Amino acid sequence: MQQFPRLVTEDVGRGDGPYQRPKLILLDDKHWSYVQRRYHISPRELEVAKLVCHGLSNKEIAEALSIRHGTVKTHIKNIYRRIHVKNKVALLLRFMADVSKLLSESSGRAIVPIVDAEA
């Protein structure tokens, strides 16, 4: 199997390359509040869930919240257990589906608006 040079992986998520993290807000504070109540997520677990949904790695989450990497893994494991998912993508999709369902029930729409963070 081919090994990629170390420099390629160090630049992932930084700069203007093809792997930069998108600047989108998929869930606003109202949506996060709903998710927190629905799944009985602690305030710290909610912070971790938000950062997971922004695409941060466990290491980046640990640095952002000034906690240990193992603590991040424990929080994520607890969130997965409560929400009945097995990975970060499924976590985001579950949150989006729940919020979309909430919006469709309240306004007759099934679309979650995507807001550009730069706007």
Q: What is the CATH number of the domain that holds 50?
A: 1.10.10.10
Contact present, 36 and 28 (Cβ < 8 Å) = no
Using CA atoms, how far apart are residues 23 and 14, in angstroms rounded to an integer? Answer: 12
Q: Are 56 and 95 in contact (CB under 8 A)?
A: no
Residue 14 lies in a domain: no
Whether residue 76 lies inside any domain: the answer is yes
For residue 54, what are the domain limits? 23-116
Higher-confidence residue: 119 or 56?
56
* pLDDT band, very low/low/confident/very high, at 110 (cuts 50, 70, 90): very low
Instruction: Say if 1 falls within a structural domain.
Output: no
For residue 112, give every residue at least 6 positions away whose Cβ sits within 8 Å of its Cβ, in sequence order, or none. Answer: 26, 27, 31, 96, 99, 100, 103
Tell me the whole-structure pTM to 2 decimals: 0.70
List pLDDT tens digits, range 58-92. Answer: 999 999 999 999 999 999 999 999 999 999 999 99
Which of 74, 12, 2, 3 minimizes the C-alpha distance to 42? 74
Answer whether residue 74 is part of any domain: yes
Whole-Å CA distances, 9 to 13, 63, 80, 110: 9, 19, 27, 38
Q: Does a structural domain hold residue 12?
A: no
Query: How many domains is the chain partitioned into structurally?
Result: 1
